[in-house]
């Protein structure tokens, strides 16, 4: 539509009313999709050139300084396609937008920064250009992160998150963020400390009920995730497990490598992780994004106090200490849980006393993240799978926010619990005791229980939630010492047979008579190795010889019919086998 283009070209800086009318016409044409690509690109470049002339160069322009707000709003609308973004994504145009963002410093809505954010979203090459030396956008964005305006922090986080999305393209910039010393920054003196401090600020804003803080935190967490995933792949760093073989940059797997330069991100992430949800969904935003970042951070002896607090190992109830008395086991387990809860409450109070209001927390995180993850998973699955409903019940999908798959929402939290089990022996024992307490009621099928254990066992049989099915199996496997026999002893082979088959265990594991899997309850009752429930004595069949003979005849007729129809080969007819073996006459 060339009319609005001609209308814009006819403007002069003295025609304020005409400029407003023209921008309105352009926006109407955009909404009606009446502007072709060529017209959009031409208009975008003309408007940006006029803004540069009027506000930065003080030269002849079609626009005046009073037109800047409308012009930038219109430019943002024009830049909503990849074709126009490629025009705005050049070095001169990005530099111009960056300068305009500081010239028109609007803490409510900075459309110049929003133009940059849209551009780097739609044009990948613009991401490298923006943080390059010619534009210098990296320093500006880091400075914006330090501001208190939610608009600035949101846009800076969005831009930095997009500019670090690709490890290959953004490698120098990612290393700069982690390693480059900045003036007047406490701690390591890098952008990592600024990011961690800002996450703490946003966490406090979320506690205060500020809705905008959640969206801002999401983008900051995406930036943190990018740094945690990509940086260890770019530099020489520590292998997190002796089983991991040294790989080149392209073959490094997420979570297998870690750099201590990123350690300072863990405390603010955990402080955010321990903030309770204010909605009916326990795993509401930004908790899923926090979990995504946490699962790539190692659980090792050097940081176990940060993960789990300074808890004494004596607070747990190891398997070897289980009493043969059900009441004794129940008492010990209850005391352990109460002590842990009290420790968490005292730790929270201690932090609130030691930390001045509004300042960044400097004290270590003392709460137990294993307990938090367990209770969060318990509350989440109870919300989406109430009672003892089957794991594939259609009502589960109706409860999910915005149709998000349960796989995507819950699997990362299950993976986090699995990493706790694999990384810390004490955490593994405590988690196993929470899931499978020593005094567990095994009189009914475990998979029918209306609690977390029952829900996770039902998920092992799920057809719809395939990823959650797999990670729940891995979680149980990890908490049972990565041993198929121990896993079957605790949960019953029937409940985990499908998972073990996928791991290559095609038959029930051999049972040891001396040690290993759980074989009796706390009260000394035998556990059925297939069902995981109490082994019940088989009562003798109360039938007369005549009744037994009648039932045998019925079975003989039934199997004879199956054999005659070809549904059952003669060699597999149990009645024929019994007659041939002399068991029936």
Considering only 85-89, 236-240, 398-402, which range has the smallest mean pLDDT? 236-240
- Interatomic CA distance for residues 148 and 104, integer angstroms: 17
b/e burial code for range 111-131 (CB count within 10 A of at least 16 → b)? bbbbbbbbbbbbbbebbbbbb
| Distance of alpha carbon 519 from the chain centroid | 36
- How confident is the prediction for the chain on average, in pLDDT? 84
Average pLDDT over residues 569-583: 77
Are 431 and 409 in contact, with CB atoms under 8 Å apart?
no
Q: Quick one: pLDDT at residue 97? A: 96
- Interatomic CA distance for residues 279 and 285, integer angstroms: 10
Q: Quick one: pLDDT at residue 349? A: 40
Nearest to 201 by CA among 283, 146, 282: 146
| Distance of alpha carbon 32 from the chain centroid | 39
pLDDT at 425 over 60: yes
- Interatomic CA distance for residues 442 and 534, integer angstroms: 6
- 135-144 tens-digit pLDDT: 999 999 999 9
- The torsion of the CA quartet 136, 141, 147, 148, rounded to 10 degrees, works out to 160
- Interatomic CA distance for residues 352 and 367, integer angstroms: 13
Q: What is the CA radius of gyration of the chain?
A: 32
Return the DSSP state at 508: P
pLDDT band at residue 340 using 50, 70 and 90 as cut-offs = very low
* Selected residue with higher pLDDT from 37 and 334: 37
Are 194 and 146 in contact, with CB atoms under 8 Å apart?
yes
pLDDT at 223 over 90: yes
Q: Quick one: pLDDT at residue 325? A: 33
- Interatomic CA distance for residues 361 and 358, integer angstroms: 9
Pairing assessment for the beta strands 257-258 and 238-239 based on DSSP bridges:
antiparallel
Are 82 and 121 in contact, with CB atoms under 8 Å apart?
no
* Selected residue with higher pLDDT from 355 and 505: 505
Q: Quick one: pLDDT at residue 551? A: 82
Considering only 109-118, 330-339, 421-430, which range has the smallest mean pLDDT? 330-339
pLDDT at 391 over 60: yes
- C-alpha distances in angstroms, 70 versus 120, 290, 324? 22, 37, 77
pLDDT band at residue 547 using 50, 70 and 90 as cut-offs = confident
pLDDT at 158 over 50: yes
Nearest to 459 by CA among 370, 347, 384: 384
Q: Quick one: pLDDT at residue 255? A: 63
Average pLDDT over residues 313-331: 39
- Interatomic CA distance for residues 111 and 222, integer angstroms: 22
Q: For the chain, what percent of residues have pLDDT higher than 90?
A: 59
pLDDT at 317 over 80: no
Q: Is the peptide bond before 286 cis (omega within 30 degrees of 0)?
A: yes
Q: Quick one: pLDDT at residue 193? A: 96
Average pLDDT over residues 518-523: 78
**Any idea how long the chain is?**
585
Q: Quick one: pLDDT at residue 227? A: 97
b/e burial code for range 528-557 (CB count within 10 A of at least 16 → b)? ebebbbbbeeeeeeeeeeeeeeeeeeeebe
Q: Quick one: pLDDT at residue 16? A: 64
pLDDT at 330 over 50: no
Give the containing element (helix H, strand E) for 155.
helix 150-163
- Interatomic CA distance for residues 236 and 441, integer angstroms: 50
- 268-302 tens-digit pLDDT: 999 999 998 888 889 999 999 999 999 999 999 99
Q: Quick one: pLDDT at residue 372? A: 97
pTM for the full model? 0.81
Average pLDDT over residues 88-113: 88
What is the three-class DSSP state of 145? helix
Q: Quick one: pLDDT at residue 555? A: 80
Q: Which domains does the chain have, with CATH numbers?
A: 2-245+252-299 (1.25.10.10), 307-477 (no CATH), 545-580 (no CATH)
- 159-203 tens-digit pLDDT: 999 999 999 999 999 999 999 999 988 888 999 999 999 999 999
Q: Quick one: pLDDT at residue 558? A: 82
Return the DSSP state at 310: S
* Selected residue with higher pLDDT from 564 and 235: 235
pLDDT band at residue 584 using 50, 70 and 90 as cut-offs = low
Average pLDDT over residues 61-77: 92
Nearest to 115 by CA among 176, 173, 44: 44
Q: Quick one: pLDDT at residue 511? A: 59
Nearest to 303 by CA among 265, 274, 276: 265
**What is Dmax (Cα atoms) for the chain?**
114
Give the containing element (helix H, strand E) for 549.
helix 545-564
pLDDT at 240 over 80: no
pLDDT at 42 over 70: yes
pLDDT band at residue 248 using 50, 70 and 90 as cut-offs = low
List strand residue ranges (DSSP E) for 255-399, in order: 257-258
Average pLDDT over residues 202-215: 92
- Interatomic CA distance for residues 526 and 539, integer angstroms: 16
Handedness of CA 94, 100, 105, 108 (dihedral sign): negative
Q: Quick one: pLDDT at residue 475? A: 98
């Amino acid at each position: 539509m060339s009319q609005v283009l001609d209308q814009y070209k006819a403007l002069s800086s003295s025609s304020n009313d005409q400029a407003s009318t023209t921008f309105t016409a352009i926006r109407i044409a955009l909404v009606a999709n009446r502007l072709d690509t060529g017209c959009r690109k031409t208009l975008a470049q003309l408007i940006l050139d006029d803004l540069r002339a009027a506000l930065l160069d003080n030269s002849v322009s079609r626009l005046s300084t009073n037109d800047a707000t409308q012009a930038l709003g219109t430019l943002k609308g024009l830049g909503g396609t990849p074709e126009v973004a490629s025009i705005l994504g050049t070095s001169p145009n990005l530099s111009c937008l960056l300068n305009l963002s500081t010239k028109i410093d609007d803490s409510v809505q900075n459309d110049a920064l929003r133009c940059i954010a849209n551009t780097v979203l739609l044009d990948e090459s613009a991401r490298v250009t923006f943080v390059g030396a010619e534009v210098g956008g990296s320093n500006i964005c880091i400075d914006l992160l330090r501001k208190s305006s939610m608009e600035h922090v949101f846009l800076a986080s969005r831009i930095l998150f997009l500019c670090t999305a690709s490890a290959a393209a953004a490698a120098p910039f990612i290393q700069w963020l982690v390693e480059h010393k900045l003036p007047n920054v406490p701690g390591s003196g890098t952008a990592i400390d600024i990011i961690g401090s800002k996450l703490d600020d946003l966490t406090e804003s979320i506690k205060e009920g500020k809705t905008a803080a959640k969206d801002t935190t999401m983008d900051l967490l995406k930036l943190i995730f990018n740094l945690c995933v990509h940086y260890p792949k770019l530099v020489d760093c520590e292998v997190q497990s002796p089983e991991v073989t040294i790989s080149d940059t392209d073959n490094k797997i997420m979570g297998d490598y870690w750099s201590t330069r990123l350690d300072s991100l863990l405390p603010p992430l955990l402080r955010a992780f321990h903030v309770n949800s204010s909605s009916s969904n326990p795993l509401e935003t930004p908790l899923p994004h926090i979990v995504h970042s946490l699962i790539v951070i190692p659980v090792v002896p050097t940081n176990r106090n940060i993960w789990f607090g300074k808890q004494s190992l004596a607070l747990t109830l190891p398997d070897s200490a289980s009493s043969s008395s059900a009441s004794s086991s129940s008492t010990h387990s209850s005391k352990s849980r109460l002590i842990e809860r009290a420790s968490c409450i005292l730790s929270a109070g201690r932090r609130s006393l030691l930390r001045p209001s509004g300042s960044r927390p400097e004290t270590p995180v003392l709460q137990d993240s294993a307990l938090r993850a367990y209770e969060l998973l318990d509350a989440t699955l109870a919300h989406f799978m109430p009672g003892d409903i089957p794991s594939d019940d259609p009502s589960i999908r109706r409860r999910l926010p915005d149709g998000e798959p349960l796989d995507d929402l819950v699997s990362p939290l299950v993976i986090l619990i699995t990493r706790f089990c694999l990384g810390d022996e004490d955490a593994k024992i405590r988690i196993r005791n929470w899931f499978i307490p020593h005094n567990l009621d095994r009189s009914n099928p475990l998979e029918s229980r209306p609690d977390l254990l029952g829900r996770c066992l039902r998920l092992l049989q799920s057809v719809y939630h395939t990823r959650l099915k797999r990670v729940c199996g891995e979680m149980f496997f990890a908490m049972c010492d990565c041993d198929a026999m121990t896993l079957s002893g605790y949960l019953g082979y029937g409940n985990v047979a499908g998972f073990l088959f996928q791991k290559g265990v095609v038959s029930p594991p051999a049972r040891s008579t001396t040690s290993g899997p759980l074989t009796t309850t706390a009260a000394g009752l035998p556990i059925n190795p297939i069902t995981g429930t109490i082994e019940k004595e088989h009562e003798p069949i109360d039938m007369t010889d005549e009744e037994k003979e009648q039932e045998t005849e019925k079975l003989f007729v039934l199997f004879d019919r199956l054999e005659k129809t070809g549904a059952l080969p003669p060699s597999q007819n149990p009645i024929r086998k019994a007659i041939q073996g002399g068991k029936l006459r």
